[in-house]
Amino acid sequence: MADRRLIAIVASVLVAALVVAAAVIGYRTYTERYVVKTDDGLAVAQVVQATLTGASDLKVSTLSGTVQSTASDTRGMGMFTSSRVMKAPFAVEYFVDVSGLDARDFAWDPATRTLIVNAPAVRVGAPNIDESRTYLDKTSGVFVTRGAMAALQRQASVRADRIAAAEARKPEQIAQAQANARHALAALFRGPLAAAGLDAKVVVRFASDSARDGTRWDQSTSLEEIFANRR
């Protein structure tokens, strides 16, 4: 009976601690996102919260250019219409996550002294629309309310993101990013081979290559065996 009471007390304390922790996290999130920081009653520009995290992505390519986006808004039962057109620079980056590579993704062809790297697919990053450097920003309408202006801005931003993302995912852009990735990854792995005294060629393959690439490699020698033979 005493054991049950002790377990119940411990469980209650744990639940209470979780509730308090959730409340603290919720308060911090609300403060970071919605509470305006002030100095002597005046709002100030400052970094509210920053987190530095590690990354294992290798940036292999960047697509940049100019995007044009449009937006429209109707209010007052159709009486007030407004529109916006915006041109701004954009950039989309392409990455390869090298953290997932292990010994099984490497093979050695002794006949041609070639290291084959089976690389993960190129990942397309989120578009970055630099609206702080907008080239053109034109709003039209007889009477544009504050709410309409905010709606036009949101709509134009979302549409610009969508247009840039669609451009970045076009087959020709992905193909170019993969070509850049081959060069970047080959250079990345050529260094350790040279350091180990191996004058070797590096070939980077993606899963999409297997269907159209007729080249056959002897992949019977593992990465461990390559370096073991150098000892």
Q: What is the pLDDT of residues 2-46, one digit of tens each?
A: 545 654 555 565 556 555 656 666 766 666 666 666 766 666 566
**How much is the pLDDT for 216?**
52
Query: Does 71 score more than 70 pLDDT?
Result: yes
pLDDT tens sequence across 147-195:
999 999 999 999 999 999 999 999 999 999 999 999 999 988 888 888 8
Backbone angles phi, psi at 26, to 5 degrees: -60, -40
List the one residue out of 209, 46, 219 whose CA is nearest residue 122. 209
Quick one: what percent of the chain has pLDDT higher than 90?
Answer: 41
Contact 178, 61 (CB under 8 A): no
**Average model confidence (pLDDT) for the chain?**
80
Query: At 48, which helix (H) or strand (E)?
Result: none
* Type of residue numbered 141: G
What is the domain partition of the chain in residue ranges?
Answer: 2-43, 57-228
* Type of residue numbered 64: S
Most confident of 113-117, 139-143, 168-172, 223-227: 168-172
List the one residue out of 149, 144, 100 whose CA is nearest residue 121. 100
**How much is the pLDDT for 11?**
54
The tokens of 27 are what?
Answer: 């308060």
Query: Does 214 score more than 70 pLDDT?
Result: no
**Mean of the pLDDT values across residues 54-72?**
88
Q: How far is Cα 168 from Cα 140, in angstroms, rounded to an integer? A: 30
**How much is the pLDDT for 223?**
54
**How much is the pLDDT for 37?**
64
Q: How far is Cα 94 from Cα 134, in angstroms, rounded to an integer? A: 23
**Mean of the pLDDT values across residues 49-53?**
55
- For the beta carbon of residue 23, count every other beta carbon within 10 angstroms: 10
List the one residue out of 73, 70, 69 whose CA is nearest residue 143. 73
Eight-class DSSP state of 207? G
> Which of 24-28, 51-55, 103-107, 126-130 is predicted with the least confidence, judged by mean pLDDT?
51-55
Query: Does 82 score more than 70 pLDDT?
Result: yes
Per-residue pLDDT band for 65 (boundaries 50, 70, 90) equals very high
